[in-house]
Structure 1
Amino acid sequence: MSEERPSNAAQLASPSYRLAALDQDFVLSEAMRGARFLMEYEKAEQALKAWGVRSTIVVFGSARVGEDAGPNHARWYAEARKFGRIASERGGAMRGDVGHPRDNVVATGGGPGIMGAANRGAHDIGAPSIGFNITLPHEQEPNPWSTPELTFRFHYFAMRKMHFAMRANALVVFPGGFGTFDELFEILTLRQTGKERAIPIVLVDEAYWKAVVGFDALVEHGMVAPADLELISFAEDAEGAWAELLRRGLNPGGENSTDPQQPALQSGTARE
């Protein structure tokens, strides 16, 4: 008699037998962190390319600002919404024909407050806009105005920051707190060190910014050079912010040109 064939159930059930791409324990393991970085980069990259997004205008600001809050909050919200509309109407985000990439598409952190206001302004006129969300310990959901196909969720702050910087033609920063400071000084540092092109950086509401950041004190104490303060300028409202971007070289129909005083960007910094 032939020997009875044993069951292979244990082999089929073994984690080692799972396809690697479908093995969540393996994909989420510490050893695969580098691969997860690549996946977070490429997923957003492919979606942005599919929508023809060549360049963006990044808008930062507090998630705590609401349209029905105090006078300052309501004003900041209204101006951020207005700016999202202006940038989308005049910057090239509406172009979507074959062979005509979209430029200066509004990109935010994807959350509420100022971020939602800027996405909402684009949504008001039917323009696409981007939401680069991040997973946080407390629950965070995307605002309802970013384009669904361009609404992303990142685990890694570093990869999210890279996507913010890669296509940025400009940065507009409304009043905010620690998170807003983090993103502002990230881009300022890239500009100061020549790792980012000469994109304009505009802070909205000069009184607020000079009250919460001692820019002049940094110079007085020798922490930055006087010329470093020329990296930023101020505006009081949406129209003023747009005018300042144009004055500082924003190309409303395409990508900004690289500053001839700076070396070409290296792989992994901003644009490749």
Structure 2
Amino acid sequence: MTASPPDNSAQMASPSYRLAVFDQDFLLSDSLRGVRFLLEFAKADLALKAWGVRSTVVVFGSARVRENGDPDHARWYAAAREFAALASQRGGAFLEGGPVRDNVIATGGGPGIMEAANRGAADVGAPSVGFNITLPHEQEPNAYSTPELTFRFHYFAMRKMHLAMRANALVVFPGGFGTLDELFEILTLRQTSKSPEIPVVLFDEGYWRGIINFDEMARRGMIAQKDLDLFGFAETADGVWQELVRRGLKPHEDLESLTKSP
């Protein structure tokens, strides 16, 4: 009579026997943090390349703004929506027979000003990007970012990297701590020459000068006088676009001519 093979069920059930790619405990371990960083970079990068997104116009602003909120909130929401629509039309968000898209609207993917900007792009049939972040109170993506370009990150650092690395311009609407964090991240990169010289425009000069005394920072020597030239102001959607162009933003056709020039 043939003896039964030894029982190897314990080996088969052991976590160490799982394929690494299917072992969630392993993937979520402290030792794999660097790998998770890489995964968060690669997933979004591959999807953006598949859609031909070469460059973006990043729009920041408060998640607390509502379309039907107080008059200032309603004005900011409407302006963000209008700006995103015209930037998508003028900037090169549509492929138009070419392989790449330029100046595609990109936001943090949530509600408020982010929703307004994604919505403006959707109004004209253009794609837009939503870089969401996992928060303790579960942020959900707004309904207007392109589904295939709606991402979720665990790491703020990787989300910031994706927001910054393709940005041709930054437009900042009124906001709170998160908006200030993103604004000063980009201004610091500009100030230290760690990023290209992208134009930065703040919407509603009265709001920004009311919460930050930029001139006093320069007067007290905390920043150089020339650092005040790193950003400008605008009061209308079209004014934002004109200020971006004045400060060097190039629409799609100009970028194409630069790419093809000898």
Greater helix content: 2
Secondary structure of 1:49's partner? helix
Measured in 1, the distance between the counterparts of 2:254 and 2:135 equals 32
Question: What letter corresponds to residue 177 of structure 1 in structure 2?
Answer: G
Moved more, 87-96 or 238-247: 87-96
- What are the within-5 Å matches in structure 2 for residues 1-272 of structure 1? 3-95=3-95, 97=97, 99-253=98-252
Measured in 2, the distance between the counterparts of 1:44 and 1:78 equals 29
1:2, distance to aligned residue in structure 2 (A): 5.2
Measured in 1, the distance between the counterparts of 2:70 and 2:44 equals 36
Measured in 2, the distance between the counterparts of 1:9 and 1:61 equals 55
1:100, distance to aligned residue in structure 2 (A): 2.9
Question: What letter corresponds to residue 31 of structure 2 in structure 1?
Answer: A
Secondary structure of 1:245's partner? helix
Aligned length: 256
From the superposition, tell whether residues 96 and 131 of structure 1 become closer, same or farther in structure 2 (CA, over 3 Å): farther
Measured in 2, the distance between the counterparts of 1:3 and 1:119 equals 68
Question: What letter corresponds to residue 189 of structure 2 in structure 1?
Answer: L
Secondary structure of 2:59's partner? strand
Secondary structure of 1:194's partner? coil
Q: Deviations over 1:73-113 (max 9, x none)?
A: 0000000000110110000001253x430000000000000
Gaps of 5+ in 2: 257-262
Secondary structure of 1:170's partner? strand
Q: Assess if the C-alpha contact under 8 Å between 1:103 and 1:255 holds in 2.
A: no
Measured in 2, the distance between the counterparts of 1:103 and 1:197 equals 16
Give TM-score, length-normalised by structure 2. 0.95
Give TM-score, length-normalised by structure 1. 0.92
Question: What letter corresponds to residue 123 of structure 1 in structure 2?
Answer: A
RMSD (Å) for aligned C-alpha atoms: 1.3
Measured in 2, the distance between the counterparts of 1:94 and 1:189 equals 31
Question: What letter corresponds to residue 252 of structure 1 in structure 2?
Answer: P
Q: Deviations over 1:94-151 (max 9, x none)?
A: 1253x43000000000000000000000000110000000001112100000000000
1:4, distance to aligned residue in structure 2 (A): 3.4
